[in-house]
Chains A and B, each alone.
Chain A
Amino acid sequence: MKIINNRNINRLVLIILFFMISTLTLLGMSRILEFLNSGADRSSMLHLELTTEDAYLPKVVWRDLENPAREIEQNTLHKIEKDYLFSWYVKNNALEKNTTKGIEDFYTQNTRKNLYRTIAYNKGHKISIESTTIKHFPELEFYSEDGQQVVFTDKNVVEFQKISQNDQLLTSIQDTATYKVMMLLEDGFWRVRHMVKMDAEPFQKDTVQPTPIYTVSNNQILQNKTSYTIKGINYYPKNSAWDTFGELFNKDTIAKDFDIIKKANLNTIRVFIQYEDFGKAKVKLEKLAKLKVLLDLAEAKKLAVIVTLFDFYSDYTIPSWTLTHRHAEHIVSEFKNHKAILGWDIKNEPNLDFENRNKENVLNWLDHMITVIKENDPNHLITIGWSNSVEATNLANKLDFISYHFYNDMIHLEYETNGLLKNTNKPVVIEEFGVPSYGGVWNFWEGSPKEQAAYHKKMQTYFKKNNYSFMSWTLYDFPHVPDQVAGKWPWQKMRQKKFGFIDEHGNNKPAFQYISNK
């Protein structure tokens, strides 16, 4: 019997068609059912997804809560503040992206129009304004008896904005103004009803007398008014490289390391704080506690500490500014009276981000961060750890001392350092320098412990001769180096593991005897 005949083919086609049609019908039905079951999440009705905590945190200080009407309750004030900041947040967002998103929630019906018209105009003219407010000092003027209306004057709001048209950055501008604001409580939201910009008025600054230990005079750092030359080292515990305050944090390990450092005739260490590790805008208290342990130990061993902030952080965009401000504010104000701290290094090698993150952005961010730190901690010096001496002149007049990292050929050391000293008339610290002792296939057997020792010996003669402040990289060889630091390739990592004066088994390498000078 012939299997392949017309009848069998017809049957086969019919059967296949039947399966295909059934499958498609079922698929189609399931899609329709799926569609009918989807829709707005019910929780979205309650606006639960909005939280200011992580979105927008400019500094807000209520200066005066006296008002002639009803006394305000703390929780109401908190809610008003939250919604008011949201009104700024959606306004900033609207002006940047020319969108009306969120405006309905924080502006009343009549007031929305004003923003809509601005957005329409800016959209038509291809204007985009990235802005953030930095500080608010509101004073309560009126809170109605039924708790539905509030009027306050937000004094001296500092606004920073980057203005662009046709995708061309025109300029960035800082402006200070006072706003008088009336808000109404409507279906659970405080919404802006009236907002009138007024001229800023000068008001008294808090006069806190700074009590610094470390000061600066011309090219010299002073400790209790006597000249202080930093003989320092960059410090990570051996087993927690780039993670000083992590799981392996151990007081005894650090105490032993500090003894080694002190005995080696060094007087300063540099440590690193990572933005995310420390909890971003809401700084984790247990991390602060660990930092305090380290600083207290340093104080006990008479070591000065340069604390580098914002390690592994590279978002300089304006909408995130206020979050980083709260991070820095919390940390520096916590330790503003700590005697071990010599200064705050705002960021390690920020100039490496110039290319990808826009130089202008990075510098503006650093500039404002200097202000934030100075305001919250007038007692300690401020520097930025530039990765080379050319970029180290950026913001020089705002910094207390200049730090740069020297990995060039050492014959340039004096030229570069003296140039900076002369140009900036500020103390200059060679904040990182060093060579790896690694010699292997990845660098054609270039380095060796002996060559490392020779390098440090020579460097120390330069330092001694010129009385330079220096901080070498680094105390230990590290068994593990995270990818973020040097890169993931072995030829990148292997070098980075071998910069230490002490190898990973705890034995002093030949370079150790040239760790400092007398």
Chain B
Amino acid sequence: MIKKIPYYILPIMAFFLFVFAKIKTDEKAATFSIQNIAKTYTAGNAISISFTTESKTATADLYLIHSYSKIIINAKNENGKLTFKLPLFFTEKTGSVSWHLLSKNSKASTGTFKIIPNNTTTTKIESYLGPRTILTGKQNFTMMVVVPTDGLDNPKEDNTAVIIKDQFQEDITSEQKNTTNFIAWKNIYSRVKSGKMLVSSQCEQTTTKEIETDIYPSIATNFSITYERNHDFADGNQITKLTTSKITDQFGNLVSDGTLVAFYITTTTNMVLKTYAATINGIAIAQILHPDHGDTYNIKAFVTGMAESQPIKISYQPLIKSFPYTFSKENREITVGPLKSFMNQIVPNGIKVVLEIYHNNQLVETLQLDSYDGLAKFYLSPSFYKEKEYQFLIHTLGITQKTEIKKYENHK
């Protein structure tokens, strides 16, 4: 029995030896050598990278860092060869790719390769034009930025030719620019005339749509104003029209329609009145009502912050020198008028008539009426005006007249 023991032990020992030997082979570091990695690939084409190793079992993973991606690819050991097939989306982007071969027992080998834009695909262009509105004048410009890409949305390589064209009226220019840092760009300068400018670009066979930029007149220059009126009487009814000359920029372009012109009117009593008008075809027209008393207006117009006119002066004649008034109904009713105008015609309705009532030189009350058919009738009710005597001041059309002292008796 004891003799047989070696027969039992030997196979067990042999088994352990075998296991040990197996571990030994596994622990030996497999070395991988590059079989096939090109320096550059074209975007969109299939890429596969292979390594060879003397081991038939050792595997490794490939870690890749790319412009937008970081991925791991696994491969099987096929007879000492590991082939890593890059997924399609990964191969579609350009840039330098760092690869790191990760294997358990050996030092990672690393390297880089490059994926370049695919020029066989249809070129695409993204173009950006800005600012989209500019002013006339030599110093103003808009900038066209063109980013040509291949069909896979990768920016073209540097020094790709891009033609940038612009049209303004009869003037069409075209210039070739080469890309650097993804882009080709050009400053397109404004002209002295306002209008629309169209810009487009072309790279290889691809052209863009036109993009518009508006050239607006630059800031207004000084202008003059004139006035026009039916007569020069201060009748509080007629209208005086203020008209600017054609407002232009320094190159003679009419300012944009709707440019606001402010008219500042200073009266003889230094009151400031304002009115506004927007330009149409470079001209702004404002209207002011005649005053209802003699006055002189100083008028100056402004395009705020940009331009101004020379001042003008407009005088208005008083309509009448004096007016009649009568007392009736025991002096309780005061009729002012008829108010007659410069041709002896009755003044337009609505002329302001003010009656100031005094008692012992003390102002008791001020009444106001608008004229109707040239007349204004005030009635002093005995229940309110109980004093024995009153005196009156009457103002209308800039004229003031003082009545004599009137006596009143209380009628009960």
Q: Which of B89, B95, B96 contacts A121 (CB 8 A)?
A: B89
User: How many Å lie between the Cα of A95 and that of B70 in the bound state?
Assistant: 8
- Once A153-B181, A194-B155, A197-B95 are accepted as A-B contacts, the answer to whether A175 and B65 lie under 8 Å apart by CB is yes
Contact of A125 with B72 in the complex, beta carbons under 8 Å: yes
Task: Assess the A151–B131 pair: CB atoms within 8 A.
Answer: no
Q: Give a binary string over A133-152; 1 marks a CB under 8 Å from any B CB, 0 the rest.
A: 00000000110111011010
Give the distance in Å from the alpha carbon of A73 to the alpha carbon of B149 in the complex: 29
CB of A177 within 8 A of chain B?
A: yes
Number of interface residues of B (CB under 8 A): 43
Point out the residues of chain B lying under 8 angstroms from A111, CB to CB: 68
Q: Scan B119-163; emit 1 where CB is below 8 A from any A CB, else 0.
A: 000000000101110000000011101010100011100000000
- Chain B CB within 8 A of A196 CB: yes
Q: CB < 8 Å: which of B66, B68, B72, B128 contacts A127?
A: B72
Known: A95-B70, A114-B69, A196-B95. A142 touches B89 (CB 8 A): no
Q: How far is the CB of A100 from chain B (nearest CB, A)?
A: 13
Q: Give CA–CA (A163, B65) in the complex, Å.
A: 11
B97 touches A145 (CB 8 A): no
Interface string of B267-301 (1 = CB under 8 A from A): 00000000000000000000000000000000000
Considering the chains assembled together, what is the distance between the CA atoms of A330 and B70 in angstroms? 32
Partner of A131, one of B70, B93, B128: B70
Q: Determine, out of A165-173, A239-247, A307-315, A419-427, the stretch whose residues face the partner at the interface.
A: A165-173
Q: Using Cβ atoms and an 8 Å threshold, which residues of chain A touch B100?
A: 171, 173, 175
A198 within 8 A of B: yes
Instruction: Answer whether residue B71 sits at the interface, using C-beta atoms and an 8 A cutoff.
Output: yes
* A69 on the B face (CB < 8 A): yes
Answer yes or no: A118 CB below 8 A from chain B CBs.
yes
B153 proximity list for chain A (CB < 8 A): 110
Asked if residues B181 and A149 are in contact (CB atoms below 8 Å), the reply is no
**Residue numbers in A under 8 Å from B185 (CB-CB):** 69, 142, 144
B68 contact set on A, CB distance < 8 A: 91, 111, 114-115, 118, 195
Considering the complex, which residues of chain B in the window 153-181 have a beta carbon less than 8 Å from any beta carbon of chain A?
153-155, 180-181
Give the most central of A151, A184, A194: most B CB within 10 Å. Answer: A194
The reply to whether A149 and B98 form a contact with Cβ atoms under 8 Å apart is no
Interface residues of A in 187-207 (CB under 8 A from B): 193-199
Is B55 located at the chain interface by the 8 A CB criterion? no
Convert B81-122 into 0s and 1s, putting 1 for each residue whose CB lies closer than 8 angstroms to a CB of A: 000000101100111111010100000100010000000000
A316 near B: Cβ within 8 Å?
Answer: no
A interface size (C-beta, 8 A)? 44
Q: Is chain A's interface secondary structure helix, strand, loop, or mixed overall?
A: strand
Alpha-carbon distance between A195 and B183 when the two chains are bound, in angstroms: 13
Establish whether residues B98 and A177, one from each chain, have CB atoms under 8 Å apart when the complex forms: yes
User: Roughly how many angstroms separate A193 CA and B149 CA in the complex, as a whole number?
Assistant: 12
Measured CA separation A197–B155 after assembly (Å): 12
CB distance from A159 to the nearest CB of B (A): 7
Tell me if A376 is interfacial: C-beta within 8 Å of chain B: no
A117 CB contact (under 8 Å) in B67, B89, B181: B89
Q: How many A-B residue pairs have CB under 8 A?
A: 128
A453 on interface, CB distance cutoff 8 Å: no
Q: How far is the CB of A372 from chain B (nearest CB, A)?
A: 22
**Residues of chain A contacted by B69 (CB below 8 angstroms):** 114-115, 117-118, 121
- Could you tell me if A146 and B131 are in contact, using CB atoms closer than 8 angstroms? yes
Write out the residue numbers on chain A whose beta carbons fall within 8 Å of the beta carbon of B108: 171, 173
Judge whether A221 is part of the interface by a CB distance below 8 angstroms: no
Q: A118-B71, A196-B67 are in contact. Are A146 and B143 (CB under 8 A)?
A: yes
Q: How far is the CB of B212 from chain A (nearest CB, A)?
A: 15
Highest count of chain B CB atoms <10 Å: which of A115, A122, A131, A173: A173
Residues of A within 8 A of B93 (CB): 114
Q: Which residues of A contact B36 (CB under 8 A)?
A: none
Nearest chain B residue, comparing its CB with the CB of A131: B70
B20-78 residues with Cβ-Cβ distance < 8 A to A are: 61, 63, 65-72, 74
Q: Given that A117-B89, A149-B128, A170-B72 are known contacts, is A198 also in contact with B96, CB under 8 Å in the complex?
A: yes
Distance (whole angstroms) from the CB of B286 to the closest CB of chain A: 37
**B-chain residues with CB within 8 Å of residue A399 when the two chains form the complex:** none
B401 interface residue (CB < 8 Å to A):
no
Taking A196-B67, A197-B67 as contacts, is the C-beta distance between A145 and B72 under 8 angstroms? no
Q: Within the assembled complex, what's the spacing in Å between the Cα atoms of A141 and B94?
A: 20
The CA of A118 and the CA of B149, in the complex, are separated in Å by 21
Given A117-B89, A141-B181, A197-B97, CB of A170 within 8 Å of CB of B70: no
A151-B181, A197-B96, A199-B96 known; A144 and B67 CB under 8 Å? Answer: no
B182 CB within 8 Å of chain A = yes
The answer to whether B102 and A170 touch across the interface, beta carbons within 8 angstroms, is yes
Given contacts A127-B72, A146-B131, contact A198 B145 (CB under 8 A): no
Residues from chain B with a CB closer than 8 A to the CB of A153 are 181
How distant is the Cα of A145 from the Cα of B128 in the complex, in angstroms?
A: 11
* Distance A175 CA – B99 CA, assembled complex (angstroms): 10
Is the C-beta of B187 less than 8 angstroms from some C-beta in chain A?
A: yes
Q: What 0/1 readout, one digit per residue, does chain A (458-496) give for beta carbons within 8 Å of chain B? A: 000000000000000000000000000000000000000
Asked whether, in the complex, the Cβ of B130 is within 8 Å of the Cβ of A144, the reply is yes
Cβ-based interface call for A97 (8 A): no
A125 and B90 alpha carbons, distance in the complex (Å) = 14
Of B96, B132, B147, B182, which contacts A177 at CB under 8 A? B96
A182 CB within 8 Å of chain B = yes
Cα-based distance from A95 to B68 in the complex (angstroms): 10
Interface residues of B in 249-266 (CB under 8 A from A): none
Please determine whether A144 and B145 come into contact, CB atoms closer than 8 angstroms: yes
Q: In the complex, A149→B66 CA distance in Å?
A: 23
Partner of B66, one of A69, A165, A197: A197
| Cβ contact of B131, chosen from A69, A145, A173, cutoff 8 A | A145
State how many angstroms separate the Cβ of A107 from the closest Cβ of chain B: 9
Q: Is A179 an interface residue (CB 8 A)?
A: yes
Alpha-carbon distance A140/B87, docked complex (angstroms): 33
Give the Cβ gap from B166 to chain A, nearest Cβ, in Å.
15
- Which residues of chain B have C-beta atoms less than 8 A from A197's C-beta? 65-67, 95-98
Q: Is the CB of A180 within 8 A of B70?
A: no
Cβ < 8 Å to B, chain A residues 82-118: 91, 95, 110-111, 114-115, 117-118
Find chain B residues with CB under 8 A from A141 CB. 180-181
A197 to B63, CA, bound (A): 16
How far does the alpha carbon of A171 sit from the alpha carbon of B373 in the complex, in Å?
Answer: 105
User: What is the bound-complex CA distance between A151 and B90, given in angstroms?
Assistant: 23
Give the contacting residue for A165; candidates B61, B149, B154; CB below 8 A. B61
Say yes or no: A142-B71 contact (C-beta < 8 A), given A114-B93, A173-B100, A197-B95: no
Q: In the complex the two chains form, is B70's CB within 8 Å of A151's CB? A: no
> Which of A151, A161, A165 has the most B CB atoms < 10 Å from its CB?
A151
B182:A151 contact, CB within 8 angstroms: yes
Smallest CB separation, A441 vs chain B (Å): 54
A332 interface residue (CB < 8 Å to B): no
Instruction: Tell me which residues across on chain B come within 8 A of A194, comparing CB atoms.
Output: 147, 149, 154-155, 182
A108 to chain B, nearest CB (A): 10
- Whether A173 contacts B155 by the Cβ 8 Å rule is no
- Which residue of the partner chain, among A114, A129, A171, A196, contacts B89 with CB atoms under 8 Å? A114
Across-interface contacts of B182 in A (CB, < 8 A): 151, 180, 182, 194, 196
- Which 9 interchain pairs have the tightest Cβ spacing? A146-B130, A145-B143, A197-B95, A114-B68, A118-B69, A117-B89, A196-B95, A141-B181, A197-B67
Q: Write 19 A-B pairs (CB below 8 A) sorted by A numbering.
A: A91-B68, A111-B68, A118-B71, A121-B87, A127-B72, A141-B181, A151-B182, A161-B65, A165-B72, A173-B108, A175-B65, A175-B98, A194-B155, A195-B67, A196-B94, A196-B95, A196-B182, A197-B97, A198-B96
Residues of B within 8 A of A (CB): 61, 63, 65-72, 74, 87, 89-90, 93-98, 100, 102, 108, 112, 128, 130-132, 141-143, 145, 147, 149, 153-155, 180-183, 185, 187
Known: A118-B71, A148-B128, A149-B183. 11 other contacts (CB 8 A): A69-B185, A118-B68, A121-B89, A122-B70, A142-B185, A145-B141, A148-B130, A165-B61, A171-B63, A173-B100, A180-B181
